[in-house]
Structure 1
Amino acid sequence: MAEAVVSSAVGRLTDLLIDEAQLLLVVKDEIEQVVTELRRMMTFLRDADSRIDEDNVRNLLAGVRELAYDAEHVVETFVLKASFSGKTIQWITKFKFSRNIKELQRQMSLLFTNFHDFNIKSTLESHELSSSLYRTAGRLKRFCSYTTVEPELFVGFHKDVDSLVGHLVDESDDCHRLISICGMGGLGKTTLAQKIYNHSTIKTYFSGLAWVTISQKWQTKLVLQRILICLVPEKKREILESDNDKLVEDLLQIQQQRKCLIVLDDIWSADAWDSLKAALKVENSVSKLLLTSRSIDVATYVNPKGYIHRPEFLSQEQSWELLQLKALIPRGDYLDIRDIKKMEELGREMVRSCAGLPLAIMVLGGILVTKPSLIE
């Protein structure tokens, strides 16, 4: 979800403003402006995320995620270069930073225009947002910015998780080094991958975990940097200064030396894979690769011998369970038994139109949860 990515970026930038206050003193105002705009952007993302099935909104959200990653990268790169410069920050470093900030602001302005053009509404009160971000800032710095959280709501794919975790920790001669999760948009591929990524068995088995979202727009160097920072965060400064060849060399070496799981989420095209494959050779490696894609052709192109998993749609009972978790159960505290029965009747009727698609059910639940009552 774009909202989670932007929230992580805001927390990270806020932490840097605190932890690197002396180094960032000369650019503090510019960073704070970016943070303010990212916070404002977050107020639109709940509505936008609920409409991710629309092509134009999905592309917009991909742009939002990339902007959040770029904002982190710009500030972290400045911190790195400023630390090398000592107390006197070279004017060229400051000039490049200001130029990059202006480009970020230009991109943010375009995104806000798109929010308006696509009729995306702000759904979160500003005081609630500020409170939420205040609680978030100060604890994100302990973690790598490019990891992913475990999904709060998870229904219907528990057997899929067990099966795929089993494949990933399989050490037999005919084990699969690359596993793909394929299916239409909204089927829950990313949610399933998140559950696997955060599974206790995976965390125990693999000594290194890395998660990166590709989408339709990607930058090869940035993707490689994110993967390496996840795997060897203690070498972050060196990674940010490395060229593409060095990033490829280091990533190949790490995959040979350690059991790593690298997740490429939402890979759309063969071109994206071609730009990364030199650094992700899973043959004869102790590491493994997990990717999610809408296209089975892409998964087959990446590795014709890889294991391809296609999640099924949710059953009617699973669909109803997910809708309850998203929207209906919290109301049970103040509804009498007749209202609860009526809500179940209406809820089951509405959820049938979602055809077992988790995203559609989540969108429906997001709408229902804003209503004071379904009962007239």
Structure 2
Amino acid sequence: MADILVPIVLDNLIKFGTYEANLLRGVRDQVDTLESDLRFIKVFLKKSAGTRNDPFVEELVNQISDAALEIEDAIDAYAARVIEERRRNLLGKLFHSFGHAKVLHGVANKTTTIKEKVQNIYNNKEKYGIGEADQPSVDDEEAEQSSIEKRRRNVEEADVVGFEKDTTTLIDQLTNQSNLQRDVLSIHGMGGLGKSTLARKIYKDTRVLNHFACRAWVVVSQRWQARTLLLDVLKSFKQISDETSKKVVEELKDELHEHLKGRTYLIVMDDIWSTEVWDAVRVAFPDESNGSRILITTRVRNVARHASPTPPHDLKLLDENESWELLRKEVFQGRECPPDLIQLGKKIAQSCGGLPLSIVLLGGTLAAENKSYQVWLRFLANVNLYLKQGISFQTLSYNHLPPELKACFLYLGLFPEDSEINVRDLIELWIGEGFIQSDRSTSIYDVAEDYLEKLIDRSMIQVATKRLDGGVKTCRIHDLLRDLCIEESRRDKLFDIYSIDNKVSLNRKSRRLSIHSVEYPNFDLPPCARSLFFFGVSFNPLSKSVSEQIYKSTKFIRVLYLFELKIDKIPSQIEELIFLRCLYIKKCRVEYVSSSIWNFRYLETLHLDFYGMGSLRKGIWSVMKDLRYLHVGRRLALDLCNLPPRSLVGEPFWNLQVLSWLRVNQNAALVIAKFPNLRKLGLIFDGESREEDEVEKVTASIRRLESLQSIKIRKYWRYPMEVGTRLNSLPSTLTKISLKYDGSPFDWDTFKVLARQSHLRVLKITTFAPQQPHDVSVVAGEFPQLQVLKLRNLRIKTLEMEKDAMPKLESLFIKTCEFLEYLPEDELLRRTNLQLVEVIGWKVQDKLKTMLSDFKIKHPATPCKINIIEL
């Protein structure tokens, strides 16, 4: 816990000291001492990460966690009191602030004491076994891993189903005679997915036995040594002499290399966690262009990519039928399942979320039980208790994460089971919590996306859906890993959960609370909470008691997330949440919202998307100083037409990077100019025009946005002027444009204007209006960088394309374009860089279906995948 907590508290302390230096007058020395000590302790935690087996060190780490929480409480309490007393007379301020300064001084003394203990440990490094950062520990942890590995190998011997296609694919790659260079293939996936099982199945296959002159299987795991690995490979081929066993690493590499020369070999390296493994042993495997292969299994995608340019073979979760087949085999060992148990058995199998390891573990337990309906019914009711056996397999993956990724991973456990989590929301929440550390040279969003990719690469997060540009749109977490998140977080007081399935007493010291319930209970929220999440179902009401507590009892809240709730009102008391950084009111029904929604000094993220009433104009600029992300749903789009002109004069707001949706009017151009660092912008053109050059003013403002990457424009039928034809000379940074026309036909002159934008990579065009069928042609030189094109509801009859038009197009999506009859073959479908053409519609023209079907038959080797989906 300390490894996660100390960097967050340190970052919050630095931020607060930077933003509100005037609040810390009189206690600056204590704050500086706290900051210095926390920096020192942070280094200690990193260096001692793998040496926590010493009881003294472990106890000290626990003390550090408690001290960090005290620091956070003391600083927040001091700041809150000073802010409240700004309205009081000077004597009152001095009196009350002095009392909190004493508390702050006491916390600083405690932290200094801990620092002295840390220094004592450093002075006795050998005694406590502390060396370089992240060195692995031994003893208990090693014994635990050995036990886990033993159970994992037992599971792997099971007859896991669903690998037939994977086995054929990989064996074909291993024995491919058209590629004789030594090649490294990899099997990638989360723990328990069956990577080693598949590798073992391939290793024993007769086609592999007959193809390779010699084979070796070595288990690598997290703690590995190059010398041990080389000896293990050699042991597969010959008896190890005393002379060989005494050789150093370089000598062993030479001996192995000499032994393999002139022979076709297959080396399986199972369970690799680090890129350094391949770097350490690769020269021992000769490449004589005779078809030799190395097969590795790993949970870390980056390991697979590092060892070979060949894309890794990603294992998938089992579907419902495969899950039931595997469970049935485990329980009945070839015998028939009684008919009355089939439906129960399918539900038990489904509860495993497609993870073979969990299914096999449950199957082993069920096999020892009576095969009766009542026994299986009880088992299903308590299946989560049995599934917890599998958490230890995932603990290895969690322990291998660096501290900055651990907090981000655990955070996913806050969301309800089986949720598809919006990645953009997740990143904003990570940033609001202080989990993302970034220097000025790197965007905090880039760092957060890098963290997300690392968690995906390490198989801790699953990609649910992708954006058109290939980025991750939504993600999910397997139930077993979610259980691990909850277990670790509850123990470390990171967060707690209240749900229908988990009505346990809440940890009063938990800093974050997530409530998932059909009916929100009346209970006391923990006063130390820093984050509150409320997930509703079908707009169930938030109880008045809980609502009042949010604004009165939990004044230190930094993150407030309200989802799919019915809320009577967001009252003016919300401004009591003086430390709020991140506020989401998403998919809610709200009767009234007070303009106090803008009265937050530290707000960085604001997401308002609800049905309701209230003024969203009054006081808007008061929140803009630190705001980085502002999203207001289309129904509530910011209408700033009545703002006094003087409010738009003055210094720009440099921090805002995301702004949507802004309703365009006579002040829109001035508003956009206030935010020079925007990366994403959403505009709504609705209502009657007030000035003839209104659109030109807006587009002129857009041209000056030197960081703009993405723009979305929605035009309604009430807006009389054309928008798209003005989108010329856009910023060179702008790579993604989305146009949606509601009630008004799309002007194809806009298409030609956009065709000249040399930096455009993603284009989406949607219309909801009748128009005459249109033939579209793209000529050479147009859309020179476009990679993704999506056309929806457009009355296109034919799409003609010259050879050098859209030369970099990779994906073409055509949805509900019911009149489309033709796509060019040679000029489009046969391009080597085109990867996907997807045609979706309530009715796809027979002429187009026939043409695409014939094309696939005539050109089976064309890399383009063609999907035709009729709704």
- TM-score, normalised via structure 2 length: 0.25
Query: 1:114 & 1:298 partners in 2: Cα distance?
Result: 24
Q: Is 2:182–2:289's contact at 8 Å kept on the other side of the alignment?
A: no
Q: Which residue identity does 1:199 align to in structure 2?
A: D
Aligned to 1:158: 164
Query: Of the candidates 369, 373, 388, which is equivalent to residue 371 of structure 1?
Result: 369
Residue 251 in 1 paired to residue 256 in 2? yes
Query: Of the candidates 267, 273, 292, which is equivalent to residue 268 of structure 1?
Result: 273
- Displacement of 1:375 in angstroms is 2.2
Residue 181 in 1 paired to residue 187 in 2? yes
| Percent pairwise identity | 34
Residue 279 in 1 paired to residue 277 in 2? no
Aligned to 1:306: 310
Equivalent positions of 1:62-211 (< 5 A) are: 110=140, 151-173=157-179, 177-211=183-217
User: Which moves more between the two structures, 189-198 or 171-180?
Assistant: 171-180
Residue 320 in 1 paired to residue 324 in 2? yes
Q: How many residues align?
A: 234
- CA offsets 1:201-251 (integer angstroms, 9 cap, x no match): 1111111110001110112111100101112x1455543233222210122
Query: Of the candidates 352, 358, 361, which is equivalent to residue 354 of structure 1?
Result: 352
Q: Would the alpha carbon gap of residues 318 and 282 (structure 1) be closer, same or farther in structure 2, given more than 3 Å must change?
A: farther
- Displacement of 1:368 in angstroms is 1.1
Q: Which residue identity does 2:161 align to in structure 1?
A: V
Q: Would the alpha carbon gap of residues 268 and 366 (structure 1) be closer, same or farther in structure 2, given more than 3 Å must change?
A: same
Q: SS at 1:291's partner residue?
A: strand
Find runs of 4+ consecutive structure 1 residues off by over 6 angstroms: 147-150
Query: 2:154 & 2:254 partners in 1: Cα distance?
Result: 25
- What residue ranges of structure 2 are gaps of 5+ in the alignment? 1-136, 375-871
- Displacement of 1:114 in angstroms is 5.6
Residue 341 in 1 paired to residue 339 in 2? yes
Q: Would the alpha carbon gap of residues 188 and 236 (structure 1) be closer, same or farther in structure 2, given more than 3 Å must change?
A: farther
Query: 2:342 & 2:273 partners in 1: Cα distance?
Result: 38
Query: 1:112 & 1:302 partners in 2: Cα distance?
Result: 27
- Displacement of 1:363 in angstroms is 1.4
- CA offsets 1:100-144 (integer angstroms, 9 cap, x no match): xxxxxxx998479869xx9x9xx9xxxxxxxxxxxxxxxxxxxxx
Q: Which residue identity does 1:322 align to in structure 2?
A: L
Greater helix proportion: 1
Q: Is 1:168–1:288's contact at 8 Å kept on the other side of the alignment?
A: yes
Q: Is 1:256–1:287's contact at 8 Å kept on the other side of the alignment?
A: no
Q: Pairwise CA RMSD of aligned residues? A: 3.3
Query: 2:200 & 2:170 partners in 1: Cα distance?
Result: 12
- Displacement of 1:370 in angstroms is 2.4
- Displacement of 1:177 in angstroms is 1.1
User: Which moves more between the two structures, 352-361 or 289-298?
Assistant: 352-361
Q: SS at 1:215's partner residue?
A: coil
- Displacement of 1:253 in angstroms is 2.5
Aligned to 1:99: none
Query: 1:251 & 1:187 partners in 2: Cα distance?
Result: 32
Query: 1:163 & 1:148 partners in 2: Cα distance?
Result: 25
Q: Is 1:179–1:308's contact at 8 Å kept on the other side of the alignment?
A: yes
Aligned to 2:245: 240
Q: Would the alpha carbon gap of residues 242 and 114 (structure 1) be closer, same or farther in structure 2, given more than 3 Å must change?
A: closer
Q: Would the alpha carbon gap of residues 261 and 253 (structure 1) be closer, same or farther in structure 2, given more than 3 Å must change?
A: same
Query: 2:310 & 2:199 partners in 1: Cα distance?
Result: 16
Q: Is 1:180–1:290's contact at 8 Å kept on the other side of the alignment?
A: yes
- Displacement of 1:347 in angstroms is 0.6
Query: 2:207 & 2:198 partners in 1: Cα distance?
Result: 15
Q: Is 2:275–2:306's contact at 8 Å kept on the other side of the alignment?
A: yes
Query: Of the candidates 297, 300, 318, which is equivalent to residue 295 of structure 1?
Result: 300
Query: 1:156 & 1:310 partners in 2: Cα distance?
Result: 13
Greater strand proportion: 2
- What residue ranges of structure 1 are gaps of 5+ in the alignment? 1-106, 124-146, 333-338
Q: SS at 1:342's partner residue?
A: helix
